[in-house]
Homo-oligomer: A and B are copies of this chain.
Amino acid sequence: MAAMEVGSGLDALFAPASIAIFGASEDVTKIGGRPLQFLRKYGYAGAIYPINRKAGTVQSLPAYAKVADLPQAPELAVIAVPPDGVLDAVRDCAARGVKAAVILSAGFSELGEEGSRLQGEIGRVARSTGMRVVGPNCLGAVGVPEKAIATFSVALESSFPPAGPVGIVSQSGNLGSYTLRLAAERGIGISRLLTTGNECDVDVADGIAALVRDPGTQVILCCMETCRDGAKLVEAMRLAREARKPLVVLKVGVSEAGSAAAASHTGALAASDAVFDVVLRNGGALRVPSIEQLLEVGHAISIVGVERAPRGNKVAVLTASGGFGILLADAATAQGLALPKLAQDTQQRILSVVPFAAPSNPVDMTAQVSTRPEILAEVLSAVAADPACDAVLLQSANAFHVPRLRDVFLAALEQVRREHPSRLIFLCCRAPQDVRGQLNALGIPTVEGIDAACATLASLVRFGSASTSPTEGSFGSSSPSPTGGGLGWGHAQPLSPDVFSTEATAKRALSDAGLPVLQEVVATTPVEALAAARAIGFPLVLKIVSPDIAHKTEVGGVVVGVRSEAQLRDDYETLLARVRQNAPGARIDGVLVAQMAPAGTELILGTKTDPMFGPVVMVGLGGIFAEVLRDVALQVAPVDEAQALQMLRSLKAFPLLDGARGRNKADVAAAAKAVASLSRFAAAHADAVAEIDINPLVVLDAGQGAFALDALLVPANQEQT
């Protein structure tokens, strides 16, 4: 956990009583000229102090040579001087009692070592003085209702966005300001914009937490490329959940090409996108795939609110055209929405109004609705009353552009809104902005494209489902999720170093931690092997035990199917001889005499340590499923058995464990228990263990258990050989 509370001290950033601008310039195309111009043009009410070596006046305001000369300590400093002057400016600000500084200047860690060093210095000033510092190499921040503009973004050149409930936090200045402009063009009201750039002090997590605390922000939109402090991000998400403030995230760097670009752009050690995805889901954030969806979903949520978000994915689709109905059915299905058949009652009511309608789902009201628009109220009312659906999706290609139809449609929607105040009605339509505003005011979101509408609605469903789900990612729940709290790992009893040396020691440690293994004994003589065999019973497996041999099969160090004492004697000797020949230098601790596993389904189970989010646990089916088809489930460790079961069920190959095609059902409960045990072990020993591979975990028929047949532990700070 960061020493300071996440996101604290940022009030001065968004709502400062006064602003000083270092490097204030007469030239409004310069980064030191533009913020000043914006503050004056859009009417910031506080004091503005241009700071400029030459003093005099800048953009007709009196300028000062140093921050020390100002009549009062400015609350916010905007720093737009060349990079070599930034550290001094930051020190001067801290000395003068400035509360927050925004460094717009570039030329720091993005340019290499010297820049990184300088940036590190600035960060240390921030931490040691408590002055919050945004940037460097960022596009700054804007408090929209306060007109506190600490940015040089061209997005503000032509117009200032309307104030409203949507807050934007972005690492990338360009993505942030693009989001702002798109929002403004669509008439979406904004509370705050924060771009964090190189994040020497204030990062995205701070921004999220600050917007959680901001009473004017209801929905938080966030663009991220990386995360520099996993625990802080998890804490910020927890705050958002607790405050019931929806957090919509565009995390870029999904593809190989994209994440390579992100690593080079941010210079940060990248968390795996798959882990990031799990962390966001655990934290109750709503991840979206595009900047357009970020905006559509954020806007829709701000209109719909938590209460009216659909609790399930069942949608009634309503059109005036068979073709559009089919198109919407396809698009909705592709987004994971379902179109249940409407109730008989509902269909009857529809047919009583439009005898030739297709009354099931999608409902085709036919072109009749253009000549008799009053049909809409009746049909919509019938559909909205149907308990089989969680939401109503109405599509209209044109009605809101035809005055005669528009008014009847609006009246119908108002009426049905009154009748069904908590029912989500969602419009896929083209409409003039004023009409969209009227619809939005009724709590009805409007999206233009068909795919975009279905994607947005599907996000609302995820949002609504998370709001009511008692477990994972529970939105609005105040109890931290088990994984959300999972970032304080590594506080268990230290492991003995020998757990890393052989399969036998690894399995013993994991077995002590609750991972089931079959009976086995390390024998160092034929006599010991025989005694072990008598204790365990045939058939048996023999495996070489050596700290120098990770891949036993490759040196002939494994014999399976030993069925008699005579065979054991022979196999014991030949195994040792073979290994000595194939791996002459290897130390040999003995031969593992192990119970042979009955036939079952093989899983691959493992853990890895993500650089930002710590240990994660993975499970997949063995053979080609995990490795070729990449069918694996992932979760931040530790997980409990219910979560482990969820992981197993999420595998595409899960039917193989669940009795598909006449198989016996496998002991999924035992497998889940094994996953949970391993994850707890990995979390407890996160500092010492970098990676664990269990290959295979064999899962027997239901009730018969699941057993780790091989195990490898890789210590931290050592790559697997």
Q: Does the CB pair A265–B322 fall under 8 Å?
A: yes
A250 contacts across to B, CB distance below 8 A: 327
User: A184 interface residue, CB < 8 Å from B?
Assistant: no
A82 contacts across to B, CB distance below 8 A: none
What 1/0 mask marks residues of chain A from 235 to 279 whose CB sits below 8 Å from any chain B CB? 000000000000000101111111111101110000000000000
Partner of A175, one of B323, B361, B402, B656: B323
Minimum CB–CB distance for A350 against chain B, Å:
14
Binds B, one of A328-336, A478-486, A488-496: A328-336
Partner of A261, one of B178, B329, B656: B329
> In the docked arrangement, what's the CA distance between A155 and B292, Å?
27
A264 contacts across to B, CB distance below 8 A: 358, 360
Q: Does the CB pair A261–B174 fall under 8 Å?
A: no
> In the docked arrangement, what's the CA distance between A261 and B326, Å?
6
A320 contacts across to B, CB distance below 8 A: 174
> In the docked arrangement, what's the CA distance between A171 and B110, Å?
55
User: A70 interface residue, CB < 8 Å from B?
Assistant: no
Q: Does the CB pair B257–A362 fall under 8 Å?
A: yes
Minimum CB–CB distance for A328 against chain B, Å:
8
Q: Which of A466-515 contact B (CB under 8 A)?
A: none
Q: A370-B154, A624-B655, A628-B656 are in contact. Are A326 and B451 (CB under 8 A)?
A: no
Nearest to A152 among chain B residues (CB) is: B367
Q: Does the CB pair A252–B323 fall under 8 Å?
A: yes
Q: Which of A568-598 contact B (CB under 8 A)?
A: none
What 1/0 mask marks residues of chain A from 76 to 103 whose CB sits below 8 Å from any chain B CB? 0000000000000000000000000000
A330 contacts across to B, CB distance below 8 A: 252-255, 257-258
Minimum CB–CB distance for A296 against chain B, Å:
11
Minimum CB–CB distance for A602 against chain B, Å:
12
A451 contacts across to B, CB distance below 8 A: 289-290, 292
Give chain A's interface residue range (CB within 8 Å of chain B).
35 or more
> In the docked arrangement, what's the CA distance between A29 and B403, Å?
13
A258 contacts across to B, CB distance below 8 A: 326-327, 329-330, 333
Minimum CB–CB distance for A259 against chain B, Å:
8
User: A28 interface residue, CB < 8 Å from B?
Assistant: no
Q: Which of A104-141 contact B (CB under 8 A)?
A: 106, 110-111
Q: A252-B330, A326-B262 are in contact. Are A174 and B257 (CB under 8 A)?
A: no
Minimum CB–CB distance for A553 against chain B, Å:
10
Q: Does the CB pair B255–A661 fall under 8 Å?
A: no
> In the docked arrangement, what's the CA distance between A627 and B401, Å?
48
> In the docked arrangement, what's the CA distance between A111 and B106, Å?
69
User: A170 interface residue, CB < 8 Å from B?
Assistant: yes
What 1/0 mask marks residues of chain A from 171 to 193 whose CB sits below 8 Å from any chain B CB? 11111001001000000000000
User: A694 interface residue, CB < 8 Å from B?
Assistant: no
Q: Does the CB pair A362–B261 fall under 8 Å?
A: yes
User: A442 interface residue, CB < 8 Å from B?
Assistant: no
> In the docked arrangement, what's the CA distance between A174 and B327, Å?
11
> In the docked arrangement, what's the CA distance between A449 and B334, Å?
20
> In the docked arrangement, what's the CA distance between A356 and B175, Å?
20
User: A653 interface residue, CB < 8 Å from B?
Assistant: yes
User: A408 interface residue, CB < 8 Å from B?
Assistant: no
Nearest to A622 among chain B residues (CB) is: B661
> In the docked arrangement, what's the CA distance between A109 and B370, Å?
21
User: A645 interface residue, CB < 8 Å from B?
Assistant: no
Q: Which of A159-174 contact B (CB under 8 A)?
A: 170-174
Partner of A323, one of B223, B256, B324: B223
Nearest to A627 among chain B residues (CB) is: B661
Q: Does the CB pair B174–A356 fall under 8 Å?
A: no
Minimum CB–CB distance for A456 against chain B, Å:
14
A371 contacts across to B, CB distance below 8 A: 29
A291 contacts across to B, CB distance below 8 A: 327, 450
Q: Does the CB pair A261–B623 fall under 8 Å?
A: no
Minimum CB–CB distance for A411 against chain B, Å:
20
- Between A111, A157, A252, A361, the greatest number of chain B beta carbons within 10 A of the residue's beta carbon is seen for A252
- Between A322, A332, A360, the greatest number of chain B beta carbons within 10 A of the residue's beta carbon is seen for A322
Q: A291-B327, A329-B261 are in contact. Are A174 and B624 (CB under 8 A)?
A: no
A253 contacts across to B, CB distance below 8 A: 326, 330
Nearest to A107 among chain B residues (CB) is: B356
Partner of A326, one of B225, B356, B364, B656: B225
User: A652 interface residue, CB < 8 Å from B?
Assistant: yes
User: A642 interface residue, CB < 8 Å from B?
Assistant: no
Q: Does the CB pair A324–B362 fall under 8 Å?
A: no
Q: Does the CB pair B289–A323 fall under 8 Å?
A: no
User: A557 interface residue, CB < 8 Å from B?
Assistant: no
> In the docked arrangement, what's the CA distance between A290 and B371, Å?
28
A652 contacts across to B, CB distance below 8 A: 629
A443 contacts across to B, CB distance below 8 A: none
User: A398 interface residue, CB < 8 Å from B?
Assistant: yes
> In the docked arrangement, what's the CA distance between A374 and B24, Å?
26
Partner of A265, one of B174, B255, B364: B364
Leading 5 A-B pairs by shortest Cβ distance: A172-B323, A255-B333, A174-B321, A265-B322, A258-B329
Can you name 22 A-B residue pairings with CB atoms under 8 Å?
A: A29-B371, A106-B367, A154-B402, A170-B323, A172-B321, A225-B323, A225-B326, A255-B332, A261-B358, A261-B364, A264-B360, A265-B325, A266-B322, A289-B334, A289-B451, A291-B450, A624-B660, A624-B661, A628-B655, A628-B660, A629-B629, A629-B652
Other than the given A175-B327, A258-B333, 16 more pairs (CB < 8 A) read A106-B367, A171-B323, A172-B324, A174-B322, A174-B323, A178-B398, A250-B327, A252-B326, A252-B327, A254-B334, A255-B330, A257-B333, A257-B338, A262-B326, A265-B364, A628-B653
